[in-house]
Structure 1
Amino acid sequence: MPSMANPELPIPDGLVLRPFRGVRFAVDDLAGVTSPPYDLIDEAGVRKLLDTHPNNVVRLILPGTDQQRYAEARETLHQWLSSGVLTADETPAVYVYEQSGPGVLQRGIIGDVGLAGPELHIVLPHENVMPGPVADRLALMSTTEANLEPIFLLYDGAGGATTRLVDQIAASRPPLVEAKTEDGVRHRLWAVTDTGELTSIDTDLRPRQALIADGHHRYATYLALQRQHRAATTGATTAAAEPEPWDFGLALLVDSSAYPPDLKAIHRVIPELPLEEALAKAKGSWRVREHADLPEGLAALEETTGPAYLLSSGGLTHLLSDPDPDQLEYAMPSEHSARWRALNTSILAEFLLPKVWGMRDDEQSVRIVHHDPEAAVRLARASGGTAVLLRPLAVDEVLAVAAQGERVPRKSTSFGPKPRTGLVLRLLTPTWTPPTNDPPYEKPDS
């Protein structure tokens, strides 16, 4: 059935996870060529990964800083395919993926997820995106003609056929590949090619709904890439309904009822806001309490109910809590639900940053630090600014907001454990040959 919003885009009839010909590294040190997701790697991390292995996947996902970086990534990808550093599996498959280690066990399945806009309520975003990262990922994907790392999706599998099969495979079959990364996590991968098993997975998943846990910018890029290619190649509406490579995107799908996610906080650093100025401006609308050091301040933050933030630039920390209710009510947009307006990231984006401190929560003014409060404080100290430390959101808060069709502010959540980049890649040219001119897209195996 054609889309009312765009009749030239095909619409999946449910949650679709299609087999694909995975592209994998054929090297002895598999752990050495993998990396965290691109948005968790800073410049020092890039150098460390490149020192670990000359073929580390970071050369593809973060290929440099100049305008030629996307072409460099494409050339590197083609070189690795031509030389055998990367090889494509012969048979299309979905891949069971397990991460295990101290306090970690997550199993899921990697495949081609059918793309669906949020209005279809098949793949639900919960977080806003920024145009800069989408433009960057779109340039990279369209130039390399590849999905280089999977997004992370959660669904309520309720112990269904897919979850049972995933657990059975992980418990009883030898893995296709296995690698242990320096964080102590073991990564294992199995290819599922049996027609009966693939049919069982497809039947189980179709009526379900998935939440984007990690990869909002990449999913937005998938949709942009789909629109871009459809605009360039489609003629009649009937032809447009035929699925093409860009109607899918690489994704890891995890049953959150079997493997509940770990939701961590994402902290902010404001380089141009000295701590003294931040505190002086906050005292007109927030209760401010001083704590001796970071551990004491974090403990106080954890124990506080309601909106609260811990400010620091090293040394003493300062807890903001109990905002003035009238000022808060006036600042929060009325078109959003009460649940959305109560989120700490919403209050940060709509009240604390613009109304109290006179700035926007954008990429230019605010730096992002995942998980690590000490790293955020170090960055604040080095930049002469202020670290704003947050409590993580609750999973049920995020699910409830997404189910209502709302989006939490950017960088509100960090679900884990995130899939490791480099274990399996996806080409948008499923039958790859060394390029002479740009090869046409070929219809993938179904």
Structure 2
Amino acid sequence: MARVYPFKGYCYNEEKVGDLNKIVTQPYDKIDQNKQDYYYQESDYNIVRLILAREEGEQDRYQTAASYLNKWVKEDALVQDKEPGFYAYWQEYKVEGKKYIRKGFVGLGKLEGEEGVKAHENTLEGPKADRLNLIRATEANFGHIFMLYSDPKKIILELLDKGVAERSPAIKVNDEDGNTHLLWKITDQVIIKNIQEAMMDKTLYIADGHHRYQTAVNYRNECYAKGWQSTDNEGFNHRLMTFINIDDPGLNILATHRMLYGLSNFKIEDFIEKARKDFIIQEYDHKDDLFAVLDDNEEHIFGFKARKDQRYYSLRLEDNTIMERFLAGRSAYWKNLDVVILHKIILEQYLGIDEQALAAKSNIDYVRYRETALNKLAEGNYQAAFILNPTKVAEVKNIADENERMPQKSTDFYPKLLTGLVINRLNIKKD
């Protein structure tokens, strides 16, 4: 059961803060030191000062974020909408030259257990502790949790289309990749009620934001333990989320390719000899020939290129029952994931890169776009590149339904949901 609620969001006052393109950011976990520096320089009101603040004076970074939030609200840089609503959120983007529009809506979702919200990734204690400290200090939701639901008849999309018909978006910005993000406020009570009713029988699947969701649950439990009360929709038992239909043709998952480095005594001939035991291997003189095979083949197939070898290779699993040798007791869905086959057979068995090495990123880097992977390989910093096909949305759903977890970097839902379009401050009664 998915219980979703309208809310009175806080949005940036463009007259006060200026160009909104200089205000919004990628999700916090996509922001490295260089991006943090960039966002800080873009605007004094950039939301990086809330989601990844720096220490200022005697304040730690969480207190700094709370200070900026309170200051911006006080000076009307952030203004709360006067009536609750959902926010239709469209993303116009391209993948390999093809145009897509992904449609969803922003609302508050009630925090549920695993029977109502399903995950496909494990969470780490460090990021959860970091996000918990932030929500304690600010009592606000900044980044969205990317939620999937299934609606083959597209009833909710039709309601959203009706809600934005013949209206200009309240917000229109572009991200660093040139993707366009549009936001409309929907306050029509009939449309809101119909969306809520249509969502009631849905199961939610976390696409992105596993750490943020678990942090919200932990914070809710902490508040209840203190005897605090969640006074309305905007309380601590709900969380800012963006809901996307699994059946939306605009939904895409990109592949994340693996870059090999730091392996002593790595020899292409030895690797190929080991791989021939379980994989059918073909050689190509040109990358386009390899890409064509990857694009056309639905079976478990990987591309491979070593820096010191001019040839390109495809590795296709010869027999799916091979996985039983290594992964007995796991579900068929999990054993048939390309990333599992890559990690458990190719990386672990052939190259000795186990889960600990993967977690520490001591031998593997991750790259979006196969052309980028091959270009980085040619620069000479990596030993080899493994090219993958994207994980399918149906595979994400199946794994979550089995209550299993995918290996890290299995999914790249593209584009990411921008932070800063609308935020939610929590109403908490502490007496």
TM-score by length of 2: 0.83
Deviation at 1:135, TM superposition (A): 2.9
Check if 1:156 corresponds to 2:150: yes
Q: 1:353 to 1:72 in 2, by over 3 A?
A: farther
Q: 1:18 to 1:42 in 2, by over 3 A?
A: same
1:328·1:351 contact (CA, 8 Å) conserved in 2? no
Deviation at 1:60, TM superposition (A): 2.4
Check if 1:170 corresponds to 2:168: no
Residue in structure 2 matched with residue 369 of structure 1 by the alignment: 366
Deviation at 1:232, TM superposition (A): 3.2
Deviation at 1:392, TM superposition (A): 0.7
1:369·1:375 contact (CA, 8 Å) conserved in 2? no
2:274 is paired with a residue whose SS is coil
Match of 1:104 among 96, 100, 103: 100
Residue in structure 1 matched with residue 12 of structure 2 by the alignment: 25
Deviation at 1:83, TM superposition (A): 2.8
1:112·1:248 contact (CA, 8 Å) conserved in 2? yes
Deviation at 1:223, TM superposition (A): 2.0
Counterpart code for 1:362? A
Identify unmatched segments of 5+ residues in structure 2.
none
1:174 is paired with a residue whose SS is coil
| CA deviation profile, 1:46-82 (whole Å, cap 9, x unmatched) | 3333333332222322335999333332333233223
Deviation at 1:155, TM superposition (A): 1.5
1:393 is paired with a residue whose SS is coil
| CA deviation profile, 1:162-189 (whole Å, cap 9, x unmatched) | 3222011222233322334454433222
Deviates more, 1:176-185 or 1:188-197: 176-185
2:323·2:341 contact (CA, 8 Å) conserved in 1? no
Deviation at 1:157, TM superposition (A): 2.3
Q: Distance in 2 between matches of 1:91 and 1:375?
A: 46
Residue in structure 2 matched with residue 200 of structure 1 by the alignment: 194
Residues 229-244 of structure 1 mapped to structure 2, 5 A cutoff: 229-233=223-227
Residues 140-289 of structure 1 mapped to structure 2, 5 A cutoff: 140-159=134-153, 161-181=155-175, 183-233=177-227, 245-273=235-263, 276-277=266-267, 280-281=270-271, 283-286=273-276, 287=279
1:264·1:371 contact (CA, 8 Å) conserved in 2? yes
Residues 97-136 of structure 1 mapped to structure 2, 5 A cutoff: 97-101=89-93, 103-118=99-114, 120=115, 122-136=116-130
Q: 1:44 to 1:243 in 2, by over 3 A?
A: closer
Check if 1:422 corresponds to 2:416: no
Q: 1:373 to 1:315 in 2, by over 3 A?
A: farther
Match of 1:89 among 81, 87, 105: 81
Residue in structure 1 matched with residue 37 of structure 2 by the alignment: 47
Check if 1:68 corresponds to 2:55: no
Counterpart code for 1:406? E
Counterpart code for 1:253? F
Match of 2:409 among 408, 411, 427: 411
Counterpart code for 2:398? A
Q: Distance in 2 between matches of 1:410 and 1:95?
A: 31
Deviation at 1:383, TM superposition (A): 4.7
Counterpart code for 2:338? N
Q: Distance in 1 between matches of 2:191 and 2:263?
A: 56
2:148 is paired with a residue whose SS is strand
Counterpart code for 2:388? L
Identify unmatched segments of 5+ residues in structure 1.
1-13, 431-440
2:165 is paired with a residue whose SS is helix
Q: 1:331 to 1:411 in 2, by over 3 A?
A: farther
Counterpart code for 2:239? G
Check if 1:79 corresponds to 2:71: yes
Q: 1:135 to 1:337 in 2, by over 3 A?
A: same
TM-score by length of 1: 0.80
Deviation at 1:276, TM superposition (A): 3.1
Deviation at 1:367, TM superposition (A): 5.1
1:346 is paired with a residue whose SS is helix
Q: Distance in 2 between matches of 1:421 and 1:383?
A: 33
2:179·2:415 contact (CA, 8 Å) conserved in 1? no
Counterpart code for 2:416? K
| CA deviation profile, 1:183-206 (whole Å, cap 9, x unmatched) | 443322222233333222211111
Q: 1:38 to 1:291 in 2, by over 3 A?
A: farther
2:254·2:391 contact (CA, 8 Å) conserved in 1? yes
Check if 1:393 corresponds to 2:385: no
Q: Distance in 2 between matches of 1:89 and 1:241?
A: 18
Residue in structure 1 matched with residue 25 of structure 2 by the alignment: 35
1:269 is paired with a residue whose SS is strand
Q: Distance in 2 between matches of 1:185 and 1:78?
A: 31
1:275·1:312 contact (CA, 8 Å) conserved in 2? no
2:84 is paired with a residue whose SS is coil
Residue in structure 2 matched with residue 4 of structure 1 by the alignment: none
Deviation at 1:244, TM superposition (A): 7.4
| CA deviation profile, 1:84-132 (whole Å, cap 9, x unmatched) | 22222222222111223551212211011111121x1x22212233333
| CA deviation profile, 1:198-243 (whole Å, cap 9, x unmatched) | 2222111111122222222222222222233333336xxxx89998
Q: 1:388 to 1:245 in 2, by over 3 A?
A: farther
Counterpart code for 1:389? I
Q: 1:74 to 1:277 in 2, by over 3 A?
A: farther
1:307·1:323 contact (CA, 8 Å) conserved in 2? yes
